Structure 1
Amino acid sequence: MYRLLSWLIFASLCLALGSGNAATSVAALLSEAEGVRSSDPERFQRLLDQLQAAKGKATAPQRDQIAYLHAYQQSYVGNYDVAIPALRRLANGASTLETRFRAGALMVNGYAVTRQFAEGLRQLEQTLELAERVKDPELRQHGFGVAAVMYNEIGEYRLGLQYAERILAGPVHGRARCFAGQYRVEALWRLKRLPDDDALVRGAIQNCVSENEAVIANLLRGTLARKWAEQGQGDKAIALLDDHLPEVESTRYARLIGEVHSLLAELFLAKGDLAEADLHARAAIGHGPSMPHSQPLVAAYKTLYEIANRRGNASDALGYYRRYAEADRAYLNDVKTRELAYQFVRQETAQKTQQIELLNRQNQVLQLQQRVAKQNAQNTRLVVLLLLLVVAVLGYWAYWIRRRQQSLRRFAETDALTEVSNRHHFTQCAEQVLAQCAKNREQAALVMFDLDRFKEINDTYGHATGDWVLREVAENCRGFCRAIDYIGRLGGEEFAFLLRGCDLAAATRLAEDCRLRLTRIDTRPSGHTFTVTASFGVSATASSGYGLDVLISHADRMLYRAKREGRNQVRAFTMDLPLFDTPRVDEAAAEEVPRSAAAVGSSAP
């Protein structure tokens, strides 16, 4: 989370919030503490002690500022279990809008560092609601910077780019321009929209160099090196990183050092220099504890695996491959966690909006009833008419409530995008069906599939195209379901069928038919032309039993085996092969999470 920690340093640019009626000594201490809190931790701690002793002389805004600085100090040393509750109290009850805004922004950083992304996104939403009311432009830019960091961290790079450009659109100087430039370059790189020329990246690097921000400058150099490597200028990329490696090492920032060594290892491996690649990969792994769940750690283990493989050392290759697989799985799980947090909070926000609309309608009905009562008091000749109107309104309200209850029930059971069962409803129905099948000794099978390279579709063509693909896939899959079968969206781009009365062979044939149908989806109505493929895993009660968890687990292993062996395939689980086997690795499969399992099945032609 180096970007979030770096933004904590930028927070020192915000204004001191102490104001006029406080004792001069308290105001002076606060001003000095604000100035040194990121550059001189020991001096900052002594000033905090003095401020605590002088707290009785402070005004209410100054006491809030002292509380904020204490929370900042706890965040700086990593005591987020202490810092976050303190910041929450300030965000909800501080005497000034500025302090509430600062506390909310710092709390977002704390949630992100502790990987509580859903809570962080909720707090970010509340904090940004205050931004337009904050008069200090630097403080407002700080809030936008926190938003850019958070959205980049969860993979919503379009939103991250939007907030970075909001900072750069106004008058911004010094370290703020350096940080915002890095957020913009990162988002453009991830969105594959970085210009072919190097002017934008070099300008951002120069802004950071002029502010002595070595960490951010070298993060930008890493992006520039990756850009050159993709353009076939590997030697130029190596030279850039190698020239600045002493500067990177001098920062003592383990996360940055590990990333640079990992990138150098990849570049030297591509060049065929196995000795240098091995040296840098091991240096990157040495900083692994500072960058868990990260792509650089995955790349470092993959490099060592490739080196051992090329050297013909099968034992070392297997060991490094296992570590690579574990790191890759942890990284992808972390990515999915962040994406799901964003989706969950977005749905939560939509539900709140619906609730507000419902309350507004209820208020409208109450206002109507009040007007009817007032008219009834003023004109007794309209009593009958008013009573009929009230009855009509109440009848309509009862009818509307009933329809609303039906809608909410459907919403609770159905995935809003694809209109198939959501995971919870699918699980409930599947467990009931499996219990009946077990009682009647009836066969059943489970088919799981995951769309291949779906994130690339989202990143390349946009989330609207990704949503279109999910709807088309769900519509095509409905044709395979009988009235006694169930289809559900388990999450993201992952779906499942429960087929009653089907054995493993029949389910595998159905999965193969479904795979072929998906490849024939005409994507031109989306505005783009590409191919939709999926990888399938199949399990059946004959070999996996009637427990839904076991069926899902076995099908999931087969799905990931299909991914590992080239994607766009069907793999079926049986008990006549070993539980673990040595996976076959190719360039396409290396990008997915490998999972070991024994399987048989059909594959794409």
Structure 2
Amino acid sequence: MTKIFSSWARLVAFLFALSPFSTVCAQDAALLDIERVHFDDHQQALVLLNNLDLQSLSPEDKEYHRFLKALLSAYEGNLENAFHSLTAVYTDVQSTRVKNRTLVSLTAMASFLGKWEQGFMYANALQRALANEKDETLMLKGLQGLLIFYLNAEQYDIAKMLAQRIEKHSPADSPYRCLGEVAMMDIAAKEQVSESKEARYQTAKANCAASGSRYYISLLDNAYLTLLIKQNKPQQAYRLSKIMKKRVEDIDVLFLDLAFNASLAQLYYLLGDVEKAKTSATFVLDQLDKREFLQSRIDALLVMVKIAKAQQDFAQALQYAEALSKAESLLREDNVVKQVAYQQANFNLAIKENEIALLDKKNKLLEQQTQLTNEKINVVTLALVVIAICLAALVFWSYRSRKLHLKFKQLAEKDGLTGAFNRSFFIESAQKVLPVQKDLQSDCCLILFDLDHFKQINDTQGHQVGDKLLSATVAAIYEVVNADTLVARMGGEEFAILMPRCDVIHGACVAEQCRKAIEGVRVTHVKSNLTVSASFGVSDTSQVGYNIDNLLAAADLALYKSKQNGRNQVNRYFVE
């Protein structure tokens, strides 16, 4: 399998390779042969499929044949065409089992194509279908499709619940069980859990080995490797990486190669082997710049930025930082699309349920009209009452929808803890403000700062005190800046301030005022005297232009200089 082929072939592996489907739909022997060979030799599977005598198949097997043909078309390299073919199959077939099987593939494939609105629609339909499914194999197949979808949609709470259901209903050596174990380990790595997962990892690896899936064993190993790195256990991670290396090379799947090398880059950096860290990171960055590989690219760029800063190659650090900012921006865009699609799907579901309820009321009204033809006056009165109730319900629903819309808008713009703008809204607003200021030939200044030793405060004083400190910090900043200033929480303890009509000199003065204001922040109910400080970096458009990514990258370099020089200070960015 070539690396060009593998970026979409891993989707086919997810959708189709985990378990035999023979007990679910197909009865014809030739279809069963195709089932057995489709993943190991898809060309042979396609030949067998095209040579089948359709006249000899039962009606249900004919529909299953059509489903196989649509799904195997993914091997031609065009997932979009395969998705449209499967959509047509889902619309046309009569067999409930084939329809549900198609629904599983559509749900998972929609997530890989970024068709989130359709994906959530199919996911809701699949969940309704599984509620009445008695066949355990079909149920597990459906749970598998939902698990893949919600993992890609980053709805980890739902994914955990689905993985637990799969573990509950499948034996230890089942490939379904293996997928559930991989999912749980992957979620643990993404959520950066602090407790050890060694026992669970060993159990999961034994189960996956029993299922015979080298690919899923490698995915499991890489998830655990990522977790070990995030838990700062480089020696244990290094031993695991040595075991993984040969298997990853043998499997030769680009997605896995990139994820593994991104992890190696972080690991070697932790171990202090800068050259090997650069080699692994460069391998990732040399691949095609595709959205589906964004996380690996971000991990590699983070390592390269750290190396360049450590080597004081600030020009190279800025270049990597700009690429990192671009990749993170694309990832944030994808996440926003996912969240909006999720909320929209829930909203549409609620509307549909209300429409069904309203339709039921109308049907009951028609029945009453038929039964009470001799009491027309009472029927008309009843009808008016029902209509009035329906209108009141619609008015109430419209009012509620408006409130929900306003709530979603606020959630999309503001950080729920501090009340400052969130990162995505800040970037979007800056991209509107900067061109206007450019046309006016007016400078803009950007201040980037983060609280010094905030993690230590969280560890010693507790997260509740840390949250109060973040809120108090934003309140102190708002006391200093003007009303037209954008203040945003960029993530964790990092904040940004964008000031129109302001150059870097004035911006540094404002930053100094903010620094002093933060020094005066006090939080009640702390275990000991709590001293708060922050480090600042300032940049402006006269040096780096009217581009928010450039402003952020330049301010970040100045902030890094503040930290290098002892923290609790302000530094301006200068073009060398």
Q: TM-score, normalised by structure 1?
A: 0.67
Letter in 1 for 2:335: E
**2:17 aligned counterpart, secondary structure:** helix
Can you list the C-alpha shifts for 1:76-115, whole angstroms capped at 9, x where unaligned? 3422122111111122332122222221222233333333
CA contact (8 A) 2:49 2:65 kept: yes
Q: Give 2:332's aligned residue.
A: 336
Please name the residue that 1:158 is paired with. Answer: 157
The 1:358–1:502 alpha-carbon spacing in structure 2 relative to 1, beyond 3 Å, is: farther
1:45 aligns with 2:46: yes
Deviation at 1:292, TM superposition (A): 6.0
Residue 306 of structure 1 and its aligned partner are, at CA, apart by: 5.7
Give the alignment partner of residue 348 of structure 2, picking from 352, 356, 359.
Answer: 352
Partner of 1:558, secondary structure, is helix
Matches within 5 A, 1:97-496: 97-172=96-171, 173-193=173-193, 195-196=195-196, 198-230=198-230, 233-285=233-285, 293-300=293-300, 303=303, 318-319=315-316, 321=317, 324-325=320-321, 327-356=323-352, 359=355, 378=375
Report if aligned partners of 1:117, 1:338 keep a CA contact under 8 Å in 2: no
Give me the whole-angstrom Cα distance separating, in 2, the residues matched to 1:406 and 1:340.
21
Shift of 1:352: 1.8
Listed one character per residue, the Cα deviations across residues 463-508 of structure 1 (whole Å, up to 9, x for unaligned) are xx9xx99x97999699889999698999999999999999999999
Matched to 1:201, the amino acid is: Y
Residues 516-537 of structure 1: CA deviation (Å, up to 9, x unaligned):
689969799xxxx9x9999999
Gap change, CA 1:180 and 1:488, over 3 Å in 2: same
Higher mean C-alpha deviation, range 180-189 or range 270-279: 270-279
Is the deviation greater in 351-360 or in 137-146?
351-360
Contact 1:451/1:533 (8 A) holds in 2: yes
- Partner Cα separation in structure 2 for residue 382 and residue 259 of structure 1: 68
Q: Mark the CA change 1:376 to 1:332 in structure 2 (over 3 Å): closer, same or farther.
A: same
CA contact under 8 A between 1:262 and 1:299: conserved in structure 2? yes
Over residues 158-201 of structure 1, what are the superposed CA-to-partner deviations in whole Å (9 max), with x where a residue is unaligned?
A: 22222111100113333222222111111122223374251110
Match of 2:21 in 1: 14
The CA deviation string for residues 423-459 of structure 1, in whole angstroms up to 9 with x for no partner, is 99x999x999x99x999x9999898999999xx9xxx
Q: Secondary structure at the match of 2:51?
A: helix
Q: Cα RMSD (Å) of the superposition? A: 5.9
* 1:135-166, Cα deviation, whole Å (9 max, x unpaired): 32222222222322233334332222221111
Cα distance, 1:486–1:33 mapped onto 2, change above 3 Å: same
Local SS of the residue matching 2:139: helix
Q: What is the CA–CA distance in structure 2 between the aligned matches of 1:176 and 1:244, rounded to whole Å?
A: 22
User: What is the one-letter code of the residue matched to 1:328?
Assistant: L
Q: Give the match for residue 551 of structure 2.
A: 558
Distance (whole Å) between structure 2 residues aligned to residue 287 and residue 480 of structure 1? 47
Counterpart-to-counterpart distance in 1, 2:533 and 2:100: 45
Partner of 1:34: 35
For the residues of structure 2 that align with 1:278 and 1:381, how far apart are their CA atoms?
Answer: 83
| Residue 91 of structure 2: aligned partner | 92
> Aligned letter for 1:165?
Q
| Partner Cα distance (1:308, 1:491) in 2 | 23
Q: Could you report, residue by residue, the CA deviation over 1:20-46 in whole angstroms, capped at 9, with x for unpaired residues? A: 7xxxxxx11112112211122232011
Check the 8 A contact 1:485/1:498 in 2, yes or no: no
Partner amino acid, structure 2, of 1:34: E
Is the 1:444–1:498 Cα contact (8 Å) retained in structure 2? no
CA deviation vs aligned residue, 1:256-299 (integer Å, no higher than 9, x gap) = 23333343343333323345445544555565668963343444
Give me the whole-angstrom Cα distance separating, in 2, the residues matched to 1:156 and 1:476: 32
CA distance in 1, matches of 2:520, 2:368: 61
Pairs within 5 Å for 1:561-576? 561-563=554-556, 565-566=558-559
Give 1:326 shift. Answer: 5.5
| Contact 2:108–2:146, Cα closer than 8 Å, also in 1 | no
Relative to structure 1, the CA distance from residue 365 to residue 586 in structure 2 (aligned partners, 3 Å threshold; closer, same or farther) is farther
Q: 1:229 to 1:395 in 2, by over 3 A?
A: closer
SS, match of residue 130 in structure 1: helix
Q: Distance in 1 between matches of 2:233 and 2:142?
A: 38
Distance (Å, rounded) in 2 between the aligned partners of 1:447 and 1:123: 44
State the partner residue of 1:74. 73
In 1, Cα distance between the equivalents of 2:309 and 2:391?
75
User: Kindly tell me: are residues 338 and 166 of structure 1, through their superposed partners in 2, closer, same or farther at Cα, counting changes over 3 Å?
Assistant: farther
Contact 2:447 2:496 (C-alpha < 8 Å) held by counterparts: yes
Stretch deviating more after TM superposition (154-163 or 491-500): 491-500
Contact 1:17 1:98 in 2 (8 A): yes
Q: Percent identity?
A: 17
* Distance in structure 2 (CA, Å) of the matches to 1:193 and 1:62: 47
**TM-score, scaled to structure 2:** 0.69
Q: 1:563 to 1:94 in 2, by over 3 A?
A: farther
- The 3-state SS of whatever aligns with 2:192 is coil
CA–CA distance in structure 2, aligned partners of residues 322 and 8 of structure 1: 41
**Equivalent residue number for residue 593 of structure 1:** none
Amino acid across the alignment from 1:558: L
Aligned letter for 1:167?
A: I
For the structure 1 residues 445 and 7, does the alpha-carbon distance in structure 2 shift closer, same or farther, using more than 3 Å as the test? same
Deviation at 1:117, TM superposition (A): 3.8
Moved more, 281-290 or 340-349: 281-290
8 Å Cα contact 1:108-1:124 kept in structure 2? yes
Asked whether the 8 Å contact 1:445–1:498 carries over to 2, the reply is yes
Partner Cα distance (1:296, 1:478) in 2: 35
**Counterpart in 1 of 2:3?**
none
Contact 2:42 2:75 in 1 (8 A): no
Provide the C-alpha distance between the structure 2 equivalents of 1:514 and 1:401, rounded to a whole number of angstroms: 45
After superposition, the C-alpha distances for 1:40-91 in whole angstroms (9 at most, x for unaligned) are: 223201111112xx22343332222111111111123422122111111122
Higher RCO (CA < 8 A, seq sep 6+): 2
Kept in 2: contact 1:249–1:257 (CA 8 A): yes
Shift of residue 247, structure 1, vs aligned partner: 2.4
Letter matched to residue 378 of structure 1:
E
